[in-house]
Amino acid sequence: MAEAGVDEEVVAAGFLHDVLEDVLGPAGIECLKKEFGERVTQAVVDVSEKKDPTSPVKSTLSWVDRKQEYLDHLSSASDDALLVALADKIHNLESILWMYKKEGAGVLEKFSAPKGKFIWYYAEVLTQAQKRLPNHSLTENLVRVVGECRENFSDR
């Protein structure tokens, strides 16, 4: 993110982007505000799925519904949040591509996305980026990586 010209608060949000949904849950918002400030916290909140890792009750939403909820929220989130989302999606896809090239198609079975929806989700994030940040290098990188995914595993 820093190499793409993103400022340090947004980079910090990038490092913290999964902390609410994977570690702290909604109660961690105040902790983030205290430690990192409002701007960083808001970007983290905006890219977090609405799930609470501290709760014994798990979401009843399907994978597609959870991702659609995320996309709907991202569409009105700040550009800071979109930049964090772009960096996250680029990293996720590059990691998956690396594993795919190393281990083969079986690696795709590790993911819970329904067949035909894996690329859909990343392409939808890309669509939002192309509308809002069309000339940003992170958008351009996501274009490249989504294209490579389509070439390698088009049925996903």
* Domain ranges within the chain, ordered by starting residue: 2-53+60-152
Sequence-ordered list of residues with C-beta below 8 angstroms from that of 99, at least 6 positions apart, any chain:
107
**Residue 29 to residues 19, 52, 103, 116, 123: CA-CA distances in angstroms?**
10, 12, 38, 34, 29
Residue 56 has pLDDT above 80, yes or no: no
Residue by residue, DSSP assigns 104-152 as -GGGGGGS-PPTTTHHHHHHHHHHHHHHHSTT-HHHHHHHHHHHHHHHH
Rounded distance, CA 83 to CA 100, Å? 25
Q: For 85-111, write each residue's pLDDT tens digit.
A: 999 999 999 999 999 999 888 888 888
User: CATH number of the domain at 2-53+60-152, please?
Assistant: 1.10.3210
Per-residue pLDDT band for 51 (boundaries 50, 70, 90) equals: low
Per-residue pLDDT band for 79 (boundaries 50, 70, 90) equals: very high
* Mean pLDDT score of the chain: 88
Sequence-ordered list of residues with C-beta below 8 angstroms from that of 73, at least 6 positions apart, any chain:
46
How many other β-carbons are positioned within 10 Å of the β-carbon of residue 51? 16
pLDDT recorded at residue 99: 92
pLDDT: which is higher, 55 or 21: 21
pLDDT: which is higher, 150 or 21: 150
The two tokens of residue 82 are 């979109």
Rounded distance, CA 29 to CA 122, Å? 26
In this prediction the pTM is 0.89
Rounded distance, CA 149 to CA 156, Å? 9
Q: Which of these, 66, 25, 17, 67, lies nearest to 43 by C-alpha position?
A: 17
